[in-house]
Amino acid sequence: MALAMSAAMTNACAGRRVAVLGGGIAGLTAAHELAGRGFSVTVYEIRGGVRGLGGKARSQYFRVGGHEVPGEHGYRFMPAFYRCLPETMSRIPRGATPVVDFRMPQPNSVADALVGLDRFAVARDNMPLGIIRREVPRTKDLPGLALTLGKLFHSISPRDARHMGRKLLAYYATGPIERAERFEALSFWDYMEADRLQPIARRLLESMPQSLVAMRASEGNARTLLDVLQLMMLDYGRPGSAEWVFPGPTTDVWLAPWVRLLVQLGVRFAQGPTQRIVGLEVDGGQVTAAHRAGAAPVEADLYVLATPLEGSQAILRASPTAVMGCSQLAKVLAIPSSATRWMVGLQLLLRDRDRPWTRGHVAFADSPWGITAVSQHQLWSHEHRQRITRAGGAGLLSLIVTEWERPRDSEAPRARDLTAPEIVREVVRQVASCRDLEQHPMLRADDVLAHHIDDDVRFGPRVEGNGSPLLIHPPGLWARRPSVVTGYDNLVLAGDYVQNPMDLATMEGANATGRMAANRLLDVVAHTPHDRAMVIADYQAEHVSPALRALGRASDLRYLRRRSNAPTPQPQPMPRDHDQVTHDLVTEAQSLQARAS
């Protein structure tokens, strides 16, 4: 029966021409789901070749002594709470094996090769590296979370550790309604009352959002950040890997096999500068064409606008008739550039010895430029490690700089004002002020054999611009983001800036919108509710234990009844040490949890 229905739907879709505009994760996901179901899909992408696909997730390559070194746009990690992305990867064979049913997991898939991690590290100036391991026995409930927090805040004073721990616990005892209404409107900084903290604790707090996206603590909203941090902390209290990375460059180990599968499913790729989409034409409530920079207009039955925020804005500015009367397209145009920031990857090829630091990512919490890093050699397969060796390298550090405008609390220069070599020197200086596990500086200037900075950053010779800013999530942004569904039946939006249940600009969010876009077009064309791409309606509901959800529901009831029964805060004696902080947090968590019953 299911097969018969699938066949019927494939017939409804067969031959329908879909133009996917933009070949990033959102666009490739939509192409995958639609081509597999019988649509005739063409992806239009400015960048050429397989290496030009994948958008912000694509790898970048540089040459050292005649050898190619694989780099990244910025290193990739996938927390274990991701659902859509791993599911897509599980359906992509690593080799050229023909795929019989694109809906089914494949043997020897891209997902099978992912490398699981169970730790990350916080590096602080002049302190030994603090490694957080996934060893908390259970984080099903608030006391479990309190134990994780006790570990996380070891580098700050007991007073500040208690303050931050209590603020986080109080948030985790709230429910989705209050989060959406109150905490979405507050900045993370204000919610955490960060002005009350000592500088060392403030810097740790600032580094928390910046290790996720290029979001300053004072700019990102409390809900987006705390929800994601909660999901990550829960992963650190579960068996299995807390996060995943690739065993090689993203393009080689994921995107190239994906493109091979898409070609097998019949997807066509029109790539290069002439394929730049420059405008949309509409007539009678339908999109009738997408104009290209250097070729005849694209005419399709259905359109997926999967360009990034700034790309979609440029297209829509040139398409006033399409925007007129379509509130979702008007929303795209209304998102200010201040809702994006720069998050830029750079790689350092190391000369004589590798710097493995830890098998996980490292947040340099005191670095004025909000640096995070992964030491890649140890995580890559033999084949890709050899590429580093062939270029004369002993290791490859992949770093991300998230603060380009306002160095944090320091005399450090603005990254925006420098040349490429000056940026590299300053990055090395900031990393070198932290100590590894043997108490040695984590890096020395003469460790660096060669470097590569994200190709999207334009130098001339100083920094002139960045072609790929990333969405941050200021208070109130959620309501101002457009939805997948537009006022045009044959046009959908996809991309990390489009509303989706993973409320953080990530590959997971981009993938989710690609699926939602495909599902919407299936609704329009096939009028049957079966065989849709899997989407996650609510990551918290999926991931958070029933005990914690019950706590949130009870809290929401109180919130809705507007019962302000919060006890007046009593002055607290100064905690003696971190063990006492952890003990106090666990006690507080138990009493919060008890209120749910």
Ligand X SMILES: Cc1cc2nc3c(=O)[nH]c(=O)nc-3n(C[C@H](O)[C@H](O)[C@H](O)COP(=O)(O)OP(=O)(O)OC[C@H]3O[C@@H](n4cnc5c(N)ncnc54)[C@H](O)[C@@H]3O)c2cc1C
Give yes or no for a contact between 19 and 290, defined as CB atoms under 8 angstroms apart. Answer: yes
Among the residue ranges 110-118, 174-182, 500-508, 529-537, the one whose residues contact ligand X (CB under 6 A) = 500-508
Stretch of residues binding ligand X (CB under 6 A), selected from 22-30, 175-183, 330-338, 445-453:
22-30
d(CA 166, CA 376): 35
Kindly identify the residues of this chain, within the stretch 295-354, that bind ligand X according to CB under 6 A: 306-308, 311, 315, 343-345
Shortest Cβ distance from residue 534 to ligand X (Å)? 18
Site membership for ligand X, residue 247 (CB under 6 A): no
Site membership for ligand X, residue 81 (CB under 6 A): no
Running DSSP on this structure, what letter comes out for residue 448? E
Please identify, among the stretches 105-113, 192-200, 320-328, 504-512, the one whose residues bind ligand X according to the rule CB under 6 A: 504-512
Hey, which residues between 108 and 147 contact ligand X (CB under 6 A)? none
The whole-angstrom separation of Cα 30 and Cα 303 is: 10
Shortest gap between Cβ of 509 and ligand X (angstroms)?
Answer: 6
**Is position 232 an interface residue for ligand X (rule: CB under 6 A)?**
no
Based on the shown chain and the rule CB under 6 A, indicate whether residue 202 belongs to the binding site for ligand X: no
**Contact by Cβ (8 Å): 366, 433:** yes
Q: Can you name the residues that pair with 371 across neighbouring β-strands?
A: 401
Residue 397's beta-bridge partner residues?
Answer: 348, 375
Under the binding rule (CB under 6 A), the answer on residue 20 touching ligand X is no
Q: Which of 16, 32, 37, 76 binds ligand X (CB under 6 A)?
A: 76
Instruction: Mention every residue, 6+ apart, whose C-beta is less than 8 A from residue 531.
Output: 2, 5, 6, 9, 37, 103, 522
Q: Which is nearer to ligand X, 192 or 290 (CB)?
A: 290
Pick between residue 31 and residue 551 the one whose CB is nearest to ligand X. Answer: 31
Which of 501, 473, 496, 498 lies closest to 484 in space, CA to CA?
498
| Nearest-10 crossing angle of helices 309-317, 327-334 | 120
Q: Does 237 bind ligand X (CB under 6 A)?
A: no
Which of 277, 335, 418, 477 is close enough to bind ligand X by CB under 6 A?
277
Give the angle subtended at the CA of 393 by the CAs of 389 and 396, to the nearest 5°.
105
Q: Does 160 bind ligand X (CB under 6 A)?
A: no
Which listed residue (70, 74, 144, 158) binds ligand X by CB under 6 A? 74
Contact pattern from residue 478 through residue 497 relative to ligand X, giving x for each residue in contact according to CB under 6 A and a dash for the rest: -----------------xx-
From 205, 198, 140, select the one nearest 172 (Cα to Cα): 140
Nearer to ligand X, 315 or 391 (CB): 315
Distances (CA, A) of 403 to 213, 216, 317, 375, 409: 10, 8, 29, 21, 12
Comparing CB distances to ligand X, the nearer of 177 and 270 is 270
CA distances from 478 to 85, 180, 484, 485, 548 (A): 22, 9, 13, 15, 24
SS (H, E, C) 496-540: CCCCCCCCCCCHHHHHHHHHHHHHHHHHHHHCCCCCCCCCCCCHH
Nearest distance from C-beta of residue 415 to ligand X, angstroms: 13
The one among 19, 24, 166, 331 contacting ligand X by CB under 6 A: 24
Q: How far is the CB of 154 from ligand X (least distance, A)?
A: 25
Q: Nearest 5°: phi and psi at 115?
A: -100, 120
Stretch that binds ligand X, among 21-29, 130-138, 228-236, 327-335 (CB under 6 A): 21-29
Residue 386 · residue 442 · CB < 8 Å = no
Residues that bind ligand X (CB under 6 A): 21-27, 44-47, 55-57, 73-74, 76-77, 276-277, 306-308, 311, 315, 343-345, 400, 468, 470, 495-496, 505-508, 510
